Structure 1
Amino acid sequence: MSLQVVTANRLGDGLVVFLTADGGWSENINDSRVADGKDAAEAILAQASAPELDVVIVGPYLIDVEQQDGGLVPTKYREVLRTKGPSVREDLGYQAV
């Protein structure tokens, strides 16, 4: 099984966020709590799906990631787009920062 992290959307502004090791949420995938194995992945998804988080985030789910050049990179193109923002205009989204 590959490495996995939990992603969701923050309700306040709709931005893509990632579950961190301290149970918070970050816009930076490199701050993610990484699960290595099925049991660890299920545990972090359960943490992210706690009912009290329904007022903070929506739609948490696991994504596969790889370690590349000292950082985490999603393995699926859809998730790459979610982490970077729109692909049609590089002056928008996270890549514009």
Structure 2
Amino acid sequence: MPRAFTPKVVTANDLLEGDVVYLTADDRWTRHLAEAELLSDEAHAALRLIEAEKQGNIVVGAYLADMKPGAHGPEPTHFREDFRRTGPSNYFHGKQEQARA
């Protein structure tokens, strides 16, 4: 028996900078998970992923990540996605550097 579809966001890595990015409802890539489009329909999610995969000149490694609705937008349901949204763990740069400022 197939598992029930759970909400997802389309995520990838920025091709030039490597940052984690999320697809928004208005077809932009953002570095802020709160701005990501939360997809609750399986067919629509599959179409959004196909659209993202066609943007190989902007992003790499697009996939659907499990999320849940939160007070300030999508929230990760898995440790991996929670970890990815904070940026690289080896030293402060990108999102982590901005958070320190």
| TM-score interval, normalised by the smaller of the two chains | 0.7 to 0.9
CA distance in 1: counterparts of 2:88 and 2:17, whole angstroms = 16
Structure 1 residue 88 displacement after superposition: 7.7
Whole-angstrom CA distance in 2 between matches of 1:69 and 1:19: 19
Percent sequence identity over aligned pairs: 35
Q: Which has the higher helix share?
A: 1
Give RMSD over aligned pairs: 1.9
* 1:6-59 Cα deviation digits (max 9, x unpaired): 000001110000011111100001111121121111011011111xx1111000
Counterpart residue number, 1:94: 95
Number of positions where the alignment pairs a residue of Structure 1 with one of Structure 2 = 94
* Deviation >4 Å, runs of 4+: 86-89
TM-score, length basis structure 1: 0.83
Q: Is there any run of 5+ residues in structure 1 with no aligned partner, and where?
A: none
Matched, 1:85 2:95: no
- How many Å separate the matches in 2 of 1:68 and 1:32? 12
Query: Structure 2: where are the runs of 5+ without partners?
Result: none
TM-score under structure 2 normalisation? 0.80
